[in-house]
Amino acid sequence: MKKMYVAGVDIGGQTAKIGIVDRKGTILARKVISTKYKDADKFITLLSDSIREMTADIGLENLNGVGVGAPDGNYYTGDIVEATNLMWAKGKTVHFANDLSKKLGGLKVTITNDANAAAIGEMKYGAAKGMKNFIEITLGTGVGSGIVIDGKLVYGHDGFAGELGHTCAVKGGRDCGCGQKGCLECYCSATGVARTAVEMLSKSRAKSLLRGKRDITSKDVFDAAEKGDKLAIKIFADTGRIMGEKFADFIPFSAPEAIILFGGLTHAKDYFLEQLVDSMNENVVFLWKGKVKVLVSALNESDAAILGASALAW
């Protein structure tokens, strides 16, 4: 009997989204559970119970497998390794795929990091449909990436390939959570945009709606830009230029057809996309000037990661 369904699970710092998905990518059932547990086993039990519950009518035996997208998820080992954003995986290795599989009677569990899952979702259902070479860049709290070459996701020697958020954007620049300085993630993530705001406010004396605000977020910067705030608009423009410079460095590696942007920060694309493309084309070697598309994801954000994760399980 052909198994018709898979479960796709997108694990984030706050919640995990679970979906039961058919071959066409239709999500038949959804559930959101908290990930804020200190104990990995507690979370994995809750997840496996949820999957059992959600498949009660179709039967667990009709599930082809479970695909999981998680921060620092390793495709080769099935582990989640030192995920700073997950309370139960901070500073340690959780044998996630193995443990979840045991609780689901040996069902196959495949795991990868969240950005890779987004790239797979994009290729199957989104803006990269039909593409064989592209780079998915996720612009969320951090900057992640999933790289597809010749139709296949790149995992590399150890399963951790595609950490473009931790390449150097500004030599000797801002401290990054990873321990290095000047990583792309420190400038072009939501938190990076907020850091740029604080920096610019302290450096300039220009008027801005952001002045005097506490704990500025990228959403604050976006709202200010929408109201015509010049400083906010400049923050996004500079963010775009830094991204473009770095993209110019990624292109000679894999010669992608497109670079696809995914995640919360893309809502502000009107304020940075043009600058990004201009700076990318200025800085890339002549072979690719004007030749690499920069697209915004065609996936519904809340579904994308579920679909990407589910695609792993086919």
Q: Which residues bind its own copies (CB under 8 A)?
A: 132-133, 147, 149-150, 152, 154-164, 166-168, 171, 178-180, 183, 245, 248-250, 252-257, 283-288, 291
**Please, what is the minimum distance in Å from the beta carbon of residue 173 to its own copies?**
11
Which residues have a Cβ under 8 Å from the Cβ of 303 and sit 6 or more positions away? 19, 27, 121
DSSP string of 85-136? T-GGGTTSEE-HHHHHHHHTTT--EEEE-HHHHHHHHHHHHSTTTT-SSEEE
**Please, what is the minimum distance in Å from the beta carbon of residue 253 to its own copies?**
5
Spacing of C-alpha 295 from chain mean position: 15
* Distance in angstroms (rounded) separating the CA atoms of residues 4 and 310: 12
Helix and strand numbers (H, E) in the chain are 9, 12
Question: Is the CB of 45 or the CB of 93 nearer to its own copies?
Answer: 93
**Please, what is the minimum distance in Å from the beta carbon of residue 255 to its own copies?**
3
Contact criterion met (CB below 8 Å) for 56 and 28:
no
Question: Is the CB of 163 or the CB of 229 nearer to its own copies?
Answer: 163
Q: Measure the CA dihedral 48/308/189/185, to 10°.
A: 90
**Please, what is the minimum distance in Å from the beta carbon of residue 256 to its own copies?**
6
Q: Is 214 helix (H, G, I), strand (E, B) or coil?
A: coil
* Distance in angstroms (rounded) separating the CA atoms of residues 33 and 27: 17
Please state the φ and ψ torsions of residue 286, each to the nearest 5 degrees.
-50, -30
**Please, what is the minimum distance in Å from the beta carbon of residue 167 to its own copies?**
5
- Amino acid identity at 82: E
Question: Is the CB of 24 or the CB of 171 nearer to its own copies?
Answer: 171
Query: What's the DSSP call for residue 151?
Result: T
Question: Is the CB of 5 or the CB of 75 nearer to its own copies?
Answer: 75
Query: What's the DSSP call for residue 252?
Result: H
**Please, what is the minimum distance in Å from the beta carbon of residue 292 to its own copies?**
8
Burial of 202 (0-12, 13-18, 19+ CB in 10 A): exposed
Question: Is the CB of 48 or the CB of 113 nearer to its own copies?
Answer: 113
Question: Is the CB of 37 or the CB of 160 nearer to its own copies?
Answer: 160
**Please, what is the minimum distance in Å from the beta carbon of residue 166 to its own copies?**
4
Question: Is the CB of 53 or the CB of 158 nearer to its own copies?
Answer: 158
Question: Is the CB of 59 or the CB of 252 nearer to its own copies?
Answer: 252
**Please, what is the minimum distance in Å from the beta carbon of residue 140 to its own copies?**
17
